[in-house]
Amino acid sequence: MAHPRKKIEIIVEAPLQKPVLDWLSAQGVKGWSLFPRVIGGGKHGERSGDDITRAFDNVMIVAVATEPVARVVLDGFHTRFADAVAVVYISDVEVSRADRF
């Protein structure tokens, strides 16, 4: 049986990876996946994914959570990480094992 959940996707500068993951866990997110060296471009210029300094690398964190948890993450992220280079969004998904998320 399918259960509605929210997918949280966070593209954030690599140096903040650990603090962001710690914070997600503290907000009630039970698990995550991470894509290292995410290439992209935007307000902060282009990010090539192979930066020697790591200061200009991005990672993408994907997590699935209940709607209340996802809302807390979406509403609180840019307050908690005010100066971070980051994009955060949530979307609707369905999962088969409700107890995992």
Partner 1 sequence: MALSLSPPRGLRHAAVLMTELLHLAAGNLLSPMILAFVLGAVAAFVRSDLEIPEGAAKALAIYLMFAIGFKGGVAMHAASGWALAGAIMAALALSLALPLIAFVLLRGVWQQNRTNAAAIAAHYGSISIVTFVTAAEFLRSRDIPYEGYLVAMTAVMETPAILIGLMLAGGQKSPGMPDRTSERGALFREVLVNGSVMLLMGGFAIGWITGDAGLAKIRPFVADLFNGALCIFLLDMGLVAVRQGRAARQFPKALILFGLVMPPIGATCGFLAAAALGLSAGGAMLLAVLAASASYIAVPAAMRLALPAANPSLSVTLALAITFPFNVAIGLPLYLTVAQRLFGG
Site for partner 1, rule CB under 8 A: 13-16, 18-19, 37, 45-46, 48, 50, 52-56, 78-84
* Segment holding 89, helix H or strand E: strand 86-95
Q: Which is nearer to partner 1, 2 or 52 (CB)?
A: 52
Instruction: Provide the total of helices (H) and of strands (E) in the chain, helices listed first.
Output: 2, 6
- Minimum gap (Å) between residue 53 Cβ and partner 1: 4
Q: Which is nearer to partner 1, 4 or 28 (CB)?
A: 28
Q: Which is nearer to partner 1, 59 or 64 (CB)?
A: 59
- Minimum gap (Å) between residue 7 Cβ and partner 1: 24
Angle, vertex CA 19, rays to CA 15 and CA 22, nearest 5: 145
- Minimum gap (Å) between residue 101 Cβ and partner 1: 25
Q: Which is nearer to partner 1, 31 or 36 (CB)?
A: 36
CA distances in angstroms from 1 to 18, 92, 95, listed in the order given: 34, 16, 8
DSSP assignment letter at 17: H
